[in-house]
Amino acid sequence: MPITERWSKSSPYDKAIVGLSAAYVAITAAYLVWRGNFVSPDQFFLLVLVASVLLGRARTFLWDWLPLVVLLFGYDYVRSLVPLINDHVYLKPMIDFDRFLFGGVPTIALQSRFYNPESPHWYDYAAVTLYFLHFIVPLSAAFDTDVAMLVERLAAHERKEHELTAKLTG
């Protein structure tokens, strides 16, 4: 069933759950962009956990998301060990490759052409917004998918109840 048809057949409660979840994520994202912060995966996990508790589905959320969060914490932990293992950052091979491929360093050329610290342009704000959104959008999409799956589970459970009731009464 296409999502538009499923949406049109959804109950007002289901639509409210999806709408409130999307609004929560959008308001959180707007606040973080406005404050100039970005959300680390652990902070996002806590924000979404709060939303899940408010929606009454913390257990399902933890079951679905805990493996991902453990992997992200493990990645952050291993990443924090890198300075202890190797304190040299190897940038020269990548810069040399850029010079070979493009005849210069593209990031420096783009910044000298488009960036003016005294007068930010609209595209500077758009770039910052996109930068912040890349932290939020993938996890938000996953959370929204999780909410959509919950709505589908509830709808399937409701259909099974109706079928069982019809069989028992008819």
In this predicted model, what pLDDT tens digit does every residue of 32-52 receive, in sequence order? 777 777 667 677 778 778 877
In a domain, 65, yes or no: no
In a domain, 47, yes or no: no
In a domain, 63, yes or no: no
Give the structural domain span for 162: 3-39+88-169
At 67-113, the pLDDT tens digits run 877 887 888 888 888 888 888 878 899 999 999 999 999 999 998 99
Scored b (16 or more CB within 10 A) or e, 73-88 reads: eeeeeeeeeeeeeeee
In a domain, 61, yes or no: no
At 125-169, the pLDDT tens digits run 888 888 777 766 776 776 666 666 666 776 777 777 777 777 777
In a domain, 148, yes or no: yes
User: Based on the structure, what is the number of domains in the chain?
Assistant: 1
| Helices of type H across the chain | 3-9, 12-35, 41-55, 58-85, 92-102, 106-114, 122-169
65, 149 contact by CB (below 8 A): no
In a domain, 83, yes or no: no
Tokens found for residue 104? 């210069």
Alpha-carbon span 52 to 75, nearest angstrom: 24
In a domain, 34, yes or no: yes
